[in-house]
Amino acid sequence: MSATRTVSVIVKGRVQGVSYRAWTQAEARARGLSGFVRNRDDGSVEALFSGPLEAVDHMVALCRSGPPAARVTDVSVCEGGDPPEAGRFEILRG
C-alpha cells in the first residue's frame, strides 16, 4: 500500500476572484485527491488535500503558482487533520 498524506494549506495573495477554488478543485480531482477548498474572510484560500503522498506533494507545489490570474505571495502547509471522505473534493461556500 502506498503512503498517504493529509495537509491543510493556506494560500495568500490575489487568490479570490480569480477562479482559484475552481482551479484547485479541478487539479485535485485530476490527481485523485480528496478534500475541500474555500475562501476565507481575510482574503486567503484554505484547502485540505488527502491522498497518495506524491499527489499531495505535487498539489501543494501547484498551489504556489495557482491559475494564470492568481498572484500567490505565501503558502503555509500544516500536516495532518481528519482525512475527508475518500473520492470527494468539494468547493465549500459560506
Check if 31 is active-site. no
Please pick, among 5, 38, 39, 64, the residue that the annotation labels catalytic: 39
Rounded CA-CA distance 12/36 in Å is 17
Around Cβ 42, how many Cβ atoms within 10 Å? 9
Catalytic residue among 14, 21, 38, 71: 21
- 21 assigned to active site: yes
Residues classed as catalytic: 21, 39
